[in-house]
Amino acid sequence: MQKLRVVIVSPALADANNGNWQTARRWQQLLSPHFACIVRQWPDAEGLTSPDDVVLALHARRSADSVQAWHNTHGQRGLGVVLTGTDLYRDIGHDPLAQRSLALAHSLVVLHGLGVRSLPLEHQAKARVILQSTGTRQTLPKTFRHLRAVMVGHLREEKDPLTLMAAARLLPPDAGVLIDHIGAALDPALGQAAQDTQAQCPHYRWLGAVPHAQTLQRIQRAHLLVHCSRMEGGAHVLMEAICSGTPVLASRIDGNVGLLGEDYAGLFAPGKAQALADLLLACRSPQSGHTLVAHLQRQCALRAPLFEPSAERAALHRWVQDLWTL
């Protein structure tokens, strides 16, 4: 294998600790023995003196300047663009920078199985799916005293934290359902809403930003992960839960269905707090809760092999080689 110099353009770096950064860091590791570096914009100071062979640009709109700069220098050769949820389900429909990135790229990547169908027809042929991966983690024992659900995601409109908060208000305080909500308040108004919900609902806790390792431990200890997003490119936290033996309750949007499957029993209509509250209560029910949670665990276990690191690594290396050999 020819060792290539690959640059990963990520609009978010380590200080953001979000999905783009987690993807960039993992890909940097998986691309070995190629040399891969992560930059916020191309070219950077190093790129001006050391020629890069391939660029993988995360986010069609936010990395649009880097995509244009690469195309000005190299043309389409080596130019790959990865589409996020906001790209697929908002920006490419109206934003000229995102649309230009689609046109300039030699190849496009989406991160869940239904993503290609959201692209304009003229770009679908140059798109491929690369599922993200995570390591398998031990399933930890769960208490029988209550049902603990955890939601992970910074507080911003796309993640729809208000639906979780509304569901918490709909739950009877003595229902035995406890909710932990992890994420920094990127929107101050949503942070205030979380504080208000916590004050009114003793079974809801907003924990704010939590380091990744501690977040994984909380996922392992929870009975359920809740994921309310309105748009997703392929949420890594779903894979982390699935590969920890923690089943998921998720909004029925393409980004979630593309990872969990059309027949997954833990889906609810996006924005419908009552439907989420009903699912939480059903999972806690003395009559049927254990059966429902066990069914969700079995469905997740069947999906887990899709998120093996070896599969992502092989797909990523194929993409880089295809970009280089244009």
How many CA atoms does the CB half-sphere of 272 hold within 13 Å?
15
Question: What does the alpha-carbon distance between residue 168 and residue 294 come to, in Å, rounded to a whole number?
Answer: 23
In this prediction, residue 82 carries a pLDDT of 97
- Give the tokens for residue 158: 């796309």
- pLDDT tens for residues 283-306? 999 888 789 999 999 999 999 999
Q: What integer is the mean pLDDT of 158-177?
A: 97
Question: What does the alpha-carbon distance between residue 41 and residue 8 come to, in Å, rounded to a whole number?
Answer: 9
Domain 147-306: CATH architecture, name and number where available: 3-Layer(aba) Sandwich (3.40)
- pLDDT tens for residues 38-54? 999 999 765 554 689 99
Q: Report how far apart, in Å, the C-alpha atoms of 267 and of each of 20, 100, 226, 256 are.
A: 25, 34, 10, 9
75 pLDDT higher than 70:
yes
b/e for 245-263, b at 16 or more Cβ within 10 A? bbbbbbbbbbbbbbbbbee
5-133+308-324 to CATH, choices 1.20.1050.10, 3.40.640.10, 3.40.50.1980, 3.40.50.2000: 3.40.50.2000
Structural domain boundaries in the chain: 5-133+308-324, 147-306
130 pLDDT higher than 70:
yes
In this prediction, residue 97 carries a pLDDT of 97
312 pLDDT higher than 70:
yes
In this prediction, residue 316 carries a pLDDT of 97
Does the predicted TM-score (pTM) go above 0.75? yes
Domain 5-133+308-324 shares a fold with domain 147-306: yes
pLDDT-based confidence at residue 326 (cuts at 50, 70, 90): confident
Q: What integer is the mean pLDDT of 135-159?
A: 92
Cα 131 to chain centroid distance, Å, stands at 10
Whole-number percent of the chain with pLDDT over 90? 87
How many other CB atoms sit within 10 Å of the CB of residue 187? 15
Question: What does the alpha-carbon distance between residue 39 and residue 56 come to, in Å, rounded to a whole number?
Answer: 10
Residues 106, 80 contacting (CB under 8 angstroms) = yes
* Spatial CA neighbour of 137 closest among 311, 316, 309, 314: 309
pLDDT-based confidence at residue 143 (cuts at 50, 70, 90): confident
Q: Which of 96-105, 141-150, 197-206 has the lowest mean pLDDT?
A: 141-150
In this structure, the strands spanning 35-39 and 177-182 are: unpaired
In this prediction, residue 50 carries a pLDDT of 60
- pLDDT tens for residues 191-214? 999 999 999 999 999 999 999 899
pLDDT-based confidence at residue 1 (cuts at 50, 70, 90): low
Whole-number percent of the chain with pLDDT over 70? 96
16 pLDDT higher than 70:
no
- The alpha carbon dihedral of 172, 174, 180, 184 has a sign of positive
37 pLDDT higher than 50:
yes
